[in-house]
Amino acid sequence: MLAVADGNVSYGSSGSRMSNNINYKNPDSSVSISKMDVIIPFSPDVPCDNNGQRMWWAFLASSMVTFFGGLFIILLWRTLKYLWTVCCHCNIKHKEAQKVNNGQTDGPVKNQDEKDDAPASEVGWMTSVKDWAGVMISAQTLTGRVLVVLVFALSIGALGIYFIDSSDPIESCQNFYKDFTLQIDMAFNVFFLLYFGLRFIAANDKLWFWLEVNSVVDFFTVPPVFVSVYLNRSWLGLRFLRALRLIQFSEILQFLNILKTSNSIKLVNLCSIFISTWLTAAGFIHLVENSGDPWENFQNSQPLSYWECVYLLMVTMSTVGYGDVCAKTTLGRLFMVFFILGGLAMFASYVPEIIELIGNRKKYGGSYSAVNGRKHIVVCGHITLESVSNFLKDFLHKDRDDVNVEIVFLHNISPNLELEALFKRHFTQVEFYQGSVLNPHDLARVKIESADACLILANKYCADPDAEDASNIMRVISIKNYHPKIRIITQMLQYHNKAHLLNIPSWNWKEGDDAICLAELKAGFIAQSCLAQGLSTMLANLFSMRSFIKIEEDTWQKYYLEGVANEMYTEYLSSAFVGLSFPAVCELCYVKLKLLLIAIEYKSEQRESRSRKRILINPGNHVKMQEGTLGFFIASDAKEVKRAFFYCKACHDDITDPKRIKKCGCKRPKYKYNGYVRSLEDEHPSTLSPKKKQRNGGMRNSPNCSPKMMRHDPLLIPGNEQIENMDVNVKRYDSTGMFHWCPSKDIEKVILTRSEASMTVLSGHVVVCIFGDVTSALVGLRNLVMPLRASNFHYHELKHIVFVGSLDYLRREWESLHNFPKVSILPGTPLSRADLRAVNINLCDMCVILSANQNNIDDASLQDKECILASLNIKSMQFDDSIGVLQANSQGFTPPGMDRSSPDNSPVHGLVRQASVTTGSNIPIITELAKPGKLLPLVSFSQEKNSGTNIQMITELVNDSNVQFLDQDDDDDPDTELYLTQPFACGTAFAVSVLDSLMSATYFNDNILTLIRTLVTGGATPELEALLAEENALRGGYSTPQTLANRDRCRVAQLALYDGPFADLGDGGCYGDLFCKALKTYNMLCFGIYRLRDAHLSTPSQCTKRYVITNPPYEFELVPTDLIFCLMQFDHNAGQSRASHSSHSSHSSSKKSSSVHSIPATNRQNRSSKARETRDKHNATRMNRMGQEKKWFTDEPENAYPRNIQIKPMSTHMANQVNQYKSTTSLIPPIREVEDEC
């Protein structure tokens, strides 16, 4: 029941309404209640005041008395302490004055010290208690953090109880023993009281502590609870002040180590201040509006719920003011006036800042969640749309067999819209997180410790390559410091920066760490094109994953794209191949399985306790297959390569369709494949580090062959006594035996003036046009020269290299070039036709155009302007006059320096690089005994034979789209991908972007990188890299059986089919027949064709441009003009006649077939031995006569750089009669066949 005063009674959701209109007499009392009295809800079980008056003033008085009473005591204590201090100070001064006057010294001082001892001990006790209290509430200790967090949690709990009680009347009768919420609130406030005591003890300044916000909250929330227990009443009152505790929310999260960044702390601070102010103000409006004004006897109250007040305050702060809810009391309206001022300012400043912080919050700031059974890799470094799209295109290619790897990109800059769209298209396998690998927290976010590998991409187009390499090295250091066992594959721009990786203690080649040096591989690819043009295109297509594009029309693109679809894979060989020689297995794989096997991982058993594993490229028929041999195949997809593993002689011997070769039920051994080959020691420890263990056997380290495996020991070959003596006593090779070497030369000795170069007979050489200056970044010309100075070439086979460019730039590069033989420099510019004519560019084997200024231009389309201008300049040149070399060649005379023939008893006699006037190309051919009546094909060309368009050249490009400017007669679309353009397919253009595919290829199989690196660098080893890191130059070494054994390795060459032992297959024969014949007879492994672009057209006039066909099928038809890419064996006998320059010169006219040139076929038919002998004698006499007037470039080191050359020009009226292909002019003994073990 309700005890009411005189008045009207009404009920609302928030409590009782007050009224003063009706007088009512209590039936239980004769006391008349005034109409000004209020209604107090009560129950018969609750002993409330019998007069029913409100007691809100008692609750408020308890808080006010506590606050002001404590404040008065603190001020009184401070006043008394101050007065006491002043009085004591005066007394001390008075006593000290007396001591001075009375002359007392020891006694009073002693008494003073005794008096000071007592307070000292008392102060120490107080300090210890104060320190204990400070430790209890400090967040620096675990106890303090627990206590602080607990107080905050209980404050939020008390606020929740307030939210519950806000639905009841402002004041009501409550029984403490029956009201559960009141009991909980009482327990909370007892804890708050204890915590308040600890805070008071630990406070240094008691006055400021008393006025703190948290102290004020406790004053107006804790005492009313005790009053409510005493009066059995509950007053909602000022309990809403507990919402001010939310201001400390950010501190609590920092104590729990949840907030770590400044932005997150600031965001939580703003939100907590805004929300706590909002809730506190709503609580005050709720109190005054439901209570009414005291001077109006609480008659103007209105029933408003707490959440309606929250709504009212938000509408007010935002200045919207709908008017549906408003304040009616005077206190409420007065509060709203001041709150609008402060709330509007807070709303206008806090809300935009909060939105800005939320908007600037990292969208990709989460953490990676690893999926069970699925690997993930982390990709970082230079993350752009171009680099990511190229990487994903190759990594996620459909030809890869079930790529179950998730790619996690980590970069400190958020992706743009295009890159974000790319990530969304691959959302099932790609995730992006914003962060830096230099931050351990970000490394933990991407779970680097559980990642399968970390790939670091480099910016190939940066202006400062050394700075970019330094950044990537720092990334490697950070990642290795966080997790030393992680496998890292990083791109490096400069070769000399690879040495810094060796300084990282946890960098381990054995565990799969790899550095892909773009400058090294780019220069190596270009160098191999100097030996076999088009090889750079073929190798680039082999390690890039590209889909097959079918073309029905019979065009050159059809055959080119069929070859582009081939890639390089590895697979274990079946046990059916055990015991067979490499050529036999290679033939079986090609004929029956339609696979091209080019190399194996060979395990040779030695006397040492451990066996050795090395990768051998076309090792020959002396190597037998073993159990678990890993093969390197060229195929169109990974499923095809499985045939080599599934092949069973019993089950698949009679199968003709290779697609039917599946796994059979025969028992086969199980092999362990770890994704990459573990490192094993070399068979022949190097002189630098005899016991050094190196990864991936010989191909990673050195393609050394043990004496047991060698086909020949070069020191035991009959007739090589003179070579033996020279090798032992003279340093002709570097310390590893992999490259030709000569003592360092001063740059002034190799510089040629334009007049000297013009009078020097240069033919069959390599011209390197380099753009650069003093400020240009070094391109690393040593990496270009090293493959051209590989030791598997004989000295007389080395091509002379002439650099044309700025002398200031070449001086900077010379430090790394001064130990290579046959190198000259012509200071000038590649844009000067006079300089180009001086170096006989029309007679060179290859012209290489490089630029060191490519990365200093903002406009991408202008990055290659110098290279393009130089290329067009050379192509537009006309060569109407020559120095007489053409006439001499046409008459059968060959200058000494131009002869590159092999001796008569060489197994590959006649495998040469011929200087071609019309094409500028040197075509390797194999010749045999010319049969009487044999007609050799003639090829005519539509282009002028004296035009610069026929000079073979390769141009380096930075921007792929600039390839459209190299050939003016092609029809390539500007948006065409690089590998589909004609210059790239022809091998005349190379861009560093094609090396991007090596990152994913190395991740899936790092042996592929080893294979590519060995093919293009000429045999660089880690020993050599360590030596170059120490000295930045090659170190010469005396020839030993171990170092000379390193020469016995295969090399890439090109075979011409118009003449020689394969001429019968060149006219309409099958490529498969050529493959088998070359493999069985000469241990040559054919792997592609370099074909004339218009060879498929039956027109008498054809273009001289050629394109690459990779791994043609068996039935592919050959044409006589085809050039065949092959891996040929090293020939020890090829250098026998070159042991002595004097003996060689005396017989140069009779034994040379290097510069053999063709004559009309009708003359060739009537040729006789007598005529040849007469002509040879004539040429010998002519040469002796000319020797008194001319000096030639010879093949011997001591005469490699002639000075003061005087040459009388010859007539060149016969120059235009020289055809592209020239046949032999002398009878050559048949080629010695290698024993067939197939």
Name which of 309, 436, 305 is nearest 364 in CA terms. Answer: 436
Other C-beta atoms within 10 Å of 1158: how many? 23
DSSP, res 31: P
pLDDT for res 808: 93
How confident is the model over 301-324, as a mean pLDDT? 86
Q: Alpha-carbon Rg of the chain, whole angstroms?
A: 46
* Lowest mean per-residue pLDDT among 253-267, 300-314, 924-938, 943-957: 924-938
Q: Write a three-state SS string for 787-839.
A: HHCECCCCHHHCCCEEEEECHHHHHHHHCCCCCCCCEEEEECCCCCHHHHHHC
Residue ranges with strand state E in 193-284? 233-235
pLDDT for res 377? 94
Distance CA 993, CA 1016 (A): 17
pLDDT of residue 1129: 87
**DSSP one-letter code for 996:** G
pLDDT digits over 663-689, tens only?
887 766 554 443 333 332 333 333 333
The span from the CA of 1179 to the CA of 1182, in Å, is 5
Q: Express each pLDDT in 1062-1108 by its tens digit.
A: 888 888 889 999 999 999 999 999 999 999 988 877 666 667 889 99
Centroid of chain to Cα 928: 51
pLDDT value of position 425: 92
Percentages (nearest 5) of helix, strand, coil residues in the chain: 45, 15, 45
Separation of alpha carbons 268 and 253, rounded Å: 9
Determine the pLDDT at residue 717: 35
Average pLDDT for 721-728: 44
Which among 1153, 1194, 1133 has a CA at the least distance from the CA of 794? 1133
DSSP string, 1175-1213: HHHHHHHHHHHHTTT-----SSGGGSS--S---PPPP-T
The helix/strand/coil state of 871 is: helix
Please give the Cα distance from 726 to 340 (Å, whole number): 102
Q: How far is residue 202's CA from residue 214's CA, in Å, rounded to a whole number?
A: 15
Residue 804 confidence (pLDDT): 96
User: Domains of the chain (ranges plus CATH)?
Assistant: 1-53 (no CATH), 72-244 (no CATH), 259-361 (1.10.287.70), 375-519 (3.40.50.720)
Residue of higher predicted confidence among 542 and 22: 542
Roughly what angle, to the nearest 10 degrees, separates helices 1006-1017 and 535-542? 170
Between CA 685 and CA 1043 the distance in angstroms is 11
The residue among 570, 574, 584 whose CA lies nearest residue 634 is 570
pLDDT at 1208: 34
Give all strands of the β-sheet with 596-604 in edge-to-edge order: 567-572, 630-635, 596-604, 612-617
Element (H, E) at 848: strand 846-851
Q: Distance between CA atoms of 656 and 768, rounded to whole angstroms?
A: 50
Confidence band, pLDDT 50/70/90 cuts, at residue 7: very low
Q: Cα separation of 1215 and 885, whole Å?
A: 9
* Alpha carbon distance 242, 153 (integer Å): 11
- Is pLDDT above 60 for 765? yes
The segment with the largest mean pLDDT, out of 561-570, 961-970, 1029-1038, 1145-1154, is 561-570
**What was the pLDDT predicted at 46?**
44
DSSP category for residue 272 = H
pLDDT higher than threshold 70 for residue 608? no
Averaged pLDDT for residues 646-654: 82
In one-letter notation, the amino acid at residue 1152 is K
Kindly tell me if the per-residue pLDDT of 725 is higher than 80. Answer: no
SS3 514: strand
Token pair for 1034: 């090659």
| DSSP state, residue 751 | B
Tokens representing 736 are: 């590893």
Q: What is the pLDDT of residue 48?
A: 54
Euclidean distance between CA atoms 158 and 220, whole angstroms: 13
Q: Considering the chain, what percentage of its residues have pLDDT values greater than 90? A: 26
Cα–Cα separations (whole angstroms), residue 201 to 120, 197, 210:
19, 6, 12
Nearest to 353 by CA among 275, 250, 279, 270: 270
Say what angle helices 106-137 and 142-165 make with each other, to 10 degrees.
60
Mean pLDDT of 462-484: 93
HSE toward the beta carbon, residue 172, CA cutoff 13 A: 22
Lowest mean pLDDT among 275-279, 303-307, 890-894, 1096-1100: 890-894
Residue 1202 pLDDT: 38
pLDDT in tens, 15-62: 333 333 333 334 343 334 343 344 444 444 444 554 557 778 888 888
Position with higher pLDDT, 114 vs 1109: 1109
Tell me if 472 sits within 8 A of 490, measured CB to CB: yes
Q: In whole angstroms, how far apart are CA 770 and each of 300, 463, 808, 958, 983? A: 95, 18, 12, 14, 20
Cross-strand partners of 1055: 1124
Q: Rounded to an integer, what distance in angstroms lies between the CA atom of residue 765 and that of residue 530?
A: 9
pLDDT at 1184 over 90: no
Assess whether pLDDT exceeds 90 at residue 889: no
Please choose, from the candidates 1180, 1195, 1080, the residue with its C-alpha nearest in 3D space to the C-alpha of residue 1134.
Answer: 1195
Residue 911: DSSP 8-state: B
Residue type (1 letter), 727: D
Mean pLDDT, to the nearest integer, of 1176-1182?
45
Q: Which residues contact 386 (CB under 8 A, 6 or more apart)?
A: none
Q: What is the pLDDT of residues 84-103, one digit of tens each?
A: 888 877 666 555 555 545 55
CB atoms within 10 A of CB 935: 9
Angle at 207 (CA atoms; ends 201, 210), nearest 5 degrees: 70
Comparing CA positions, the residue from 841, 737, 781, 793 lying closest to residue 531 is 793
Mean pLDDT of the chain: 75
Rounded-to-integer distance, Cα 26 and Cα 1033, Å: 115
CB 769 within 8 A of CB 1064: no
Neighbours of 975 (CB within 10 A): 7
pLDDT bucket at 451, cuts 50 / 70 / 90 = very high
Residue 1064 tokens read as 């019968």
Q: What is the DSSP string of 1110-1127?
A: ES--TTPBP-TT-EEEEE
Provide the pLDDT for residue 650.
77
Confidence grade of residue 177 (pLDDT, cut at 50, 70, 90):
confident
DSSP three-state, residue 233: strand
- The per-residue pLDDT for range 179-206, each reduced to its tens digit, is 788 888 889 989 999 988 888 888 888 8
Res 3 pLDDT > 50: no
CA atoms within a 13 Å half-sphere pointing along the CA-CB vector of 915: 29
Q: What is the pLDDT of residue 714?
A: 35
Higher pLDDT, 411 or 880: 411
The answer to whether 434 touches 368, Cβ cutoff 8 Å, is: no
Question: Could you report the per-residue pLDDT of 1200-1237, keeping only the tens digit for each?
Answer: 333 333 333 333 333 333 333 333 233 223 333 333 33
Placement of tokens 């920092």 in the chain:
254
